[in-house]
Structure 1
Amino acid sequence: MDIRGLLITLMMAIAMTGCAHQTRTIIPQPISTESQVSLTEPWIAKGKLLVTTEGSKQSLRFNWHHNTAADDIISIGDTLGIRQLELHERNGVLFQRLADGTLQPIHTHQLEGELSALSLLSPSDLAKALTGKTLISKAVRSEVTAWQSVDGINAPRVIQLKATGIAVKVVINRWELTKNV
């Protein structure tokens, strides 16, 4: 076989394999808009809150440790980390952890500055909203506007909360979940 015949054979082989190659077709899968995060399972949510009231906006950071057998522990602070407040929620009552480690009942009207706007929402309403529940109460509306997958579990990423006199945008940067069965 001469060089010309070898080149023709190689070109035919290349042309045949190119024609036989199948392109991979990607079919988009619909994104589920149903949360798989539950109040009956422990979880940790970390992120930011943008609290808007009439004439003011405040940005806060939060860590929410939801426990099923103990208190929910909520750490809220300013974006610089200068002011930090650790709250414990037990049966709808908020407690503040003092410097000596004891818990003192706190009423939402005692919250100051950026935190005072959050007094318009109950901790149980916020916890329900974090799990993606849309019908929280008659006074509070919630909508999940972005979702994320965490270890195969569908979880809220951005949540919009609205009540009379307040709007809260919640952005959850990190979830720590147990598998919901």
Structure 2
Amino acid sequence: MKLNYEINLDDYIEFNLHHLKHSKTVQKSLINQRIAVSLIYLVIPFLISFFFKQPLFGYLLAFSIAAILWFVYFPKYFYRSSKNKMIKHLTEKNDQSLFGEHSLKVDENGMKEITKSSVHEIKWDDIVEIKGTKNYFYIYFTSMQAIVVPLEAIKDDMERLLQFYRKYNIQVLYC
């Protein structure tokens, strides 16, 4: 079976954001940053009051509000910032080898992804996992690298593709 589809900048960014949102390491780091910075905001008024002999209440109120806002809005800021950095990096580098026409050949030996600049062969045993989302299949062949397959582009061949996954006992995790 051969599937042909296009990958663009939005597809690539969507994959990276999905990976960030579902990475245990990133999520742990986000929680640590939210808590640590919020605690720092809560300690600062006491330091100001102690060292500068200022009244505590006003500073405590202001920094408590800052701590709450940081805790609540930091994840949105983090993902928006990550997305903007990805866009900037990908447009600066003009790395067009990631984008454009892709072909995915699926057979008894595994999968072969073909782009204008590379051919990547993956045996069925080398597939780490497959994640399905509302719009994509992410076929992971390492913990951080995956083939991005837009579902819209393969809707006619979806059942045949899922048959290969079942045949080789590869479970699709839906997020």
TM-score, normalization: structure 1?
Answer: 0.26
Q: Which protein has the bigger strand share?
A: 1
Structure whose residues are more often helix by fraction: 2
The normalised TM-score by structure 2 is 0.26
Give 1 or 2 for the bigger CA radius of gyration. 1
